[in-house]
Structure 1
């Protein structure tokens, strides 16, 4: 699928991050991954973009924070992920 800008903030060794990326990969979705394992500017950026973010992954589709792995899978089960990715 093409069209949407998908960004995902991750940390090394995060099983939820792996699951979220696996779902995106299975759908053929290109995404930009930001590793915030060591903190730094990308961690600060994530906190600024998603003030409520306390965990990873944080997934942003077309500048809209959608949450983490559970939220991504819930959107998929509800049939709402594909339209969002195609936008």
Structure 2
């Protein structure tokens, strides 16, 4: 399974939902990067994604986007192949 990385904050409800959604799809481990406690991580997230909001989700090297993007990817049938890509 591809590595999953998620930029989050401690109080973001969409971050919590995204983590729950990914776990329901079989993801056992999520590397969580808290941007509310690390200004450098926030700046890096904005540089690589062009976005300011959380969550920002990466599966492998692919930037999926936020929670709604994740759910839309799954609805199109693209999430499981991306998770399983090696």
Give the TM-score taking structure 1 as reference length.
Answer: 0.87
Q: Which runs of 5+ in 2 are unaligned?
A: none
Q: For 1:12, what is the secondary structure of its paired residue?
A: coil
Aligned-residue offset at 1:45: 1.7
Between the two proteins, the alignment pairs up a number of residues equal to 84
Are positions 1:6 and 2:1 aligned together? no
Aligned-residue offset at 1:11: 0.8
Partner of 2:33: 34
Cα RMSD for the two superposed structures = 1.2
Q: 1:23 aligns with which of 21, 25, 49?
A: 21
Aligned-residue offset at 1:27: 1.7
1:7-86, aligned counterparts within 5 Å?
A: 7-29=5-27, 30-50=29-49, 52-86=50-84
Runs of 4+ that moved beyond 4 A: none
Give the TM-score taking structure 2 as reference length.
Answer: 0.88
